[in-house]
Amino acid sequence: MSTPRHPPSWQRNVWALSLCVFIAFVGFQFFSPFLPLYIRELGVTDPSAIALWAGLLAAVTPAVSGLLSPLFGRLADRFGRKMMLIRSLAAFTVIIAAMGLVRTVQQLFVARLLMGFFAGFTPMAIALASVSAPREQASIAIARVQGAQLLSVAVGPAVGGIVASHLGIRPAFFVTAGMCVIALIALIVLFQETRADGPPATGPGERRVVRRSTPFTAFLRYPHFMTVLALLLIAQFVDRGLSLLIPLQVAHMPGVEAAATSGLIIAVAAVGATLSASVVARMSQWVPAGQLLLAQLVIGGAFCGLMALAETRLPLLLLRTVVALCLGGTLTLAYTLGGMIVPAETRGAAFGWLALGVQIGTALSPLLNGWVAAASLPRAYLLNGALAWLGAGLLLFFSRDLVTRR
């Protein structure tokens, strides 16, 4: 009797994906927090203009990626999700290196726009991790990939700050491009693409089976699909928004080194969110994921609103850490619910469409939070807390059976 070859292969694949995501996102953090400084270096001196360009640059890539996500899904069905990740990393290498060569903010905007045609890296990695793992282990796989991205936020800005302060901001783009190359090589060498709940998709002498992509209207027939998409949008909106608001709030605190304090708070919050994602993924094996998500949204939303009252760095650090522990697992749990409401054979395609919610949240958050914060920073925190409660309301009043479904 033959034994299965590499029985824990899904574990190897998920760890390989997590490694690639971590390496790539550490690289992204080398320059992302310093875009406002780079905008000033490119000749924009008015603070309001810098804020406007920073919001546009942060929003344009996910906006384009979100609009093209249906096309990305069809390409993934045809050529495989691993190939789409390879395409994404290869393009990032070239485009990010080009960002270090631009001479005007308009050229930087064009580069960020082009990046959107190859973006969606994390949602594709999460979808690939989900279909690589057995259905009952999908939440663990999602948490590992998401945790790798969150943990990169604790490492990347600190190291990127050292690179930027010693070498300049432009070289930070070239370092990021090099890390994308490393992530690309690791993906090609370490990851072996498999079908959902099945054997490897291809092998020597095997004929590749190309399946038609599933249209979005097909998933609308599944109960609660739109609720899960909305929950993903809210979770990403809040996470992205808090990353923007922390530096703005710290900048108004007297006698505080803004860059160092913001970096510390963001790093500690990233560790807390990573821990939260890991813990709730394991808890979801015994406690319904919907109950965990409902509790996180209710408690996290309350503490998110309380952050508006923090006037010194210590209360802000403590509250941000609590919010990270409460809301850090929301994306993991929402993706887990998504995997529960669709059949295994269409899970990969479903996650491709659910990623649309993540991309919309990524694009809208810096624009809307920046606009509200310009008028009142406390209102921006209240907005994010209210959105978390809105997500809890969607679960409790419109998708109640998701709360108890195992």
Question: Quick check: is 208 in a domain?
Answer: no
pTM for the structure as a whole: 0.74
Question: Quick check: is 206 in a domain?
Answer: no
Question: Quick check: is 329 in a domain?
Answer: yes
CATH, residue 362: 1.20.1250.20
Question: Quick check: is 378 in a domain?
Answer: yes
CB-CB contact of 352 with 69 (8 Å): yes
| Total domains, the chain | 1
**Distance set, CA 355 to CA 125, 217, 258, 368, 384 (Å):** 11, 15, 33, 20, 20
**Residue range 209-238, pLDDT digits in tens:** 444 556 667 777 788 888 888 999 999 899
Q: Can you spell out the DSSP letters for 38-86? A: HHHHTT---HHHHHHHHHHHHHHHHHHHHHHHHHHHHHHHHH-HHHHHH
pLDDT of residue 161: 66
Q: Which domain holds residue 78?
A: 10-198+216-404
Question: Quick check: is 78 in a domain?
Answer: yes
pLDDT of residue 164: 65
Handedness of CA 330, 336, 33, 120 (dihedral sign): negative
Euclidean distance between CA atoms 187 and 185, whole angstroms? 5
Q: Which residues pair with 200 in a beta bridge?
A: 194
- Contacts of 193-198 with CB under 8 Å at 24 or more apart are 193/13, 193/80, 193/81, 193/82, 193/128, 193/132, 194/9, 194/10, 194/13, 194/131, 194/132, 195/131, 196/131, 196/344, 196/345, 196/347, 196/348, 197/131, 197/134, 197/135, 197/344
Question: Quick check: is 3 in a domain?
Answer: no
Question: Quick check: is 204 in a domain?
Answer: no
pLDDT of residue 61: 84
pLDDT of residue 96: 92
Question: Quick check: is 338 in a domain?
Answer: yes
- Which residue numbers in the chain have pLDDT < 70? 1-8, 33-34, 70, 73-74, 77, 135, 157-158, 160-165, 194-216, 256-260, 344-349
